[in-house]
Structure 1
Amino acid sequence: MIAELNRLVELVEGRLDDDLDVSSLARELGTTEYHLRRMFSSLAGMPLSEYIRRRRMSVAAADVLGDGNLLSISVRYGYGSTEAFGRAFRSVHGVSVGSVKRNGGPLRTQPQLRFRLTVEGNITMDTRITERPAFLLVGHATRVPLIHEGINQQIQAHIASLPAAEHAHLKALSDTEPGGLLQVSADVDPDYTEGSELTYLHGVAVTGTTLVAADLDTIEVPTGTWAVFRTEGEYPAALQEAWAATATDWFPSNPWRLRPGPSIVAVLDRADDFSTATCELWLPVERVE
């Protein structure tokens, strides 16, 4: 995956003044747009779309400082008007186009990225691959912001709003893997942008034949392959570290890639105050051909 990401950066660099279709770039690289965006965001620390915008504005700054017509420059970099170009330029550089033309700066440059994999070999990831038939995720869903580190207060509030009896009721419905009460993230932004909204479901997995009350939210999960990562330690820090390590260590070293679908956390055991926990992180995957 590291080689594909570096090739992606080269392709982006050659098409900054052209229409960039990420799905076409993914096909050129022999992967999927979904996996490409998720891996780029995890390793670069920014969405692919943001990197493209920053690089475009870094290169466009040289044209702005020249004698070119602003409308022509705007169109060259994919903007339909000078106003739209100006907003993008200010968002990257922090100053207007006019100010840069008059004063020559200040400018903020986004360097071209280069990905490298450092393998230390001192951490073993407890992982298994499992094939699962289609199943349903049922429970109570809400929309929450994506948080990369720390406790998501909106998720905490959502869970706390459910009566204690409802947790027991849901757990009694569980009749297939992943077992027990689950933390489900669905409809996640492919760029994994912090602050973007996702659907969070507090619920369980059931077979398609299980009778489900009409007041419960459901997510249909098709037949597919899952990579399951077991984590132990401080909660949610250990879980979030393992999630990040799937991108930095596991996917680059194994013949699997992410496919669209919900990510699922099964809490197998926990301290009374939830300060520590043993969890399983379920990620939908497919083999790289």
Structure 2
Amino acid sequence: MLERLNQAMDHIEEHLDEPVDTAELARIAMTSEYHFRRMFSALAGIPLSEYVRRRRLTLAGAEVLAGRRTLLDVAVRYGYGSGEAFARAFRAMHGVGPGEARRTGAALHSQPRMSFRLIVEGRSSMRYRVVEKDGFRLVGRGTRVPLVYEGMNPAIVEFVKSIGRETLERWEACASGEPGGVLAVVGNHSAQDAEGTELDYFHGVTSDEDVPGASESLDVAPGTWAVFESSGEFPLAVQYLWRDVYTQWFPSNPYRSRPGPSLSRTRVSQDGTHADAELWIPVVRAGD
């Protein structure tokens, strides 16, 4: 899988002056477009679109300093329809406009070309199981929150506080079946999402009954789920589990992610420093 991802990276590099063809990249990597975007984001730490934008502006910066093409020619070559749009993007990345950069020979920022390799650390094994599950119903409450890739998400913290400890304890007592316990559910997360993008967030439990204080419900379709477990520092245990699933498990197993909500259950220690995490990701066997 990593070899094919690197072939896709070569393709990106060879076509930076053309629109991104995600379907072709997925074909090279022998996976779906959805899974390719999720895989890339997990491995690279940024969405595919952001990486391509930075690479284009890196090459554009070199051409601006070289002075062989007009600024408009450089803008058009790298996909900008006007000099103004190019100038805004250029300044956002480099901290200086293209005209000033050319006049003064300013120092610019660079996005290095990426390639992927697998590092086998051998410090711990990943605990997982694959579950075929009928459709189920989640009940609880939902909101919109900004995406935070690392560290606490203040919007989620405040939302969970607003539900209240007693209500959450009642929900947990009413939970039935798997996934068990109180769950954090992200329904529309895309690998293209940049930090700060608003996501649909749902907090609730699996139950076919009415649950006190649960004002909303979410029906989840039947399908296959990969279920992962991890323990460690909170909140990094959960966030690193997401990373490890995409950087270690998917490249080594015959599955790819599919559209659907991702579910996580986290039990935090009394002092708030340690967590036991369980993560449910919707998957399909590669080739299906």
What TM-score comes out, normalization by structure 1 length?
A: 0.89
* Residue ranges of structure 2 left out of the alignment (5+ in a row): none
Q: Which amino acid aligns with 2:197?
A: S
Question: What residue in structure 1 maps to residue 19 of structure 2?
Answer: 19
Shift of 1:172: 4.2
CA deviations on 1:188-247 (whole Å, 9 max, x unpaired) are 13235332221221101235xx45789622332211111111122333232222222112
Aligned pair count reads 286
Shift of 1:25: 2.3
- Letter of the aligned partner of 2:35 in structure 1? H
CA RMSD of aligned residues (A): 2.2
Q: Deviations over 1:88-113 (max 9, x none)?
A: 12222221111122123322222211
Q: Which moved more, 1:269-278 or 1:140-149?
A: 269-278
Secondary structure of 2:163 counterpart: coil
TM-score by length of 2: 0.90
1:281 aligned counterpart, secondary structure: strand
Distance 1:62 1:152 in 2: 37
- 1:186-225 superposed matches below 5 A: 186-207=187-208, 210=209, 216-225=215-224
Q: Is the 8 A contact 2:234 2:273 kept in 1?
A: yes
SS at match of 2:263: strand
> Contact (CA 8 Å) 2:167, 2:213: kept in 1 or not?
no
Equivalent position of 2:159 in the other structure: 158
Query: Which residue type is aligned with residue 101 of structure 1?
Result: R
Would you say the 8 A contact 1:95–1:106 is kept in 2?
A: no
Change (3 A) 1:21 1:213: farther
**Percent of aligned pairs with the same amino acid:** 47
- The alignment status of 1:32 with 2:13, answered yes or no, reads no
Secondary structure of the residue aligned to 1:161 is helix
The answer on whether the counterparts of 2:204 and 2:214 sit within 8 Å (CA) in structure 1 is no
Which position in structure 1 is the counterpart of 2:84? 83
Between 162-171 and 109-118, the greater mean CA deviation after superposition: 162-171
Matched to 1:264, the amino acid is L
Question: SS of the counterpart of 2:91?
Answer: helix
Q: In structure 2, the residue corresponding to 1:264 is in which secondary structure?
A: strand
Query: Which consecutive segments of 4 or more residues in structure 1 shift more than 4 A?
Result: 210-215
- State the match for 1:259 in structure 2: 258
Whole-Å separation in 1 of the counterparts to 2:236 and 2:24 = 36
3-state SS of paired residue (2:226): strand
Report the Cα offset of residue 155 of structure 1: 1.2
Residue matched to 2:75: 74
Where do 5+ consecutive residues of structure 1 fail to align?
none
Distance 1:286 1:60, change over 3 A: same
1:126 and 2:124 aligned: no
Structure 2: distance between partners of 1:35 and 1:245: 15
CA distance in 2, matches of 1:212, 1:134: 19
Counterpart residue type for residue 55 of structure 1: R
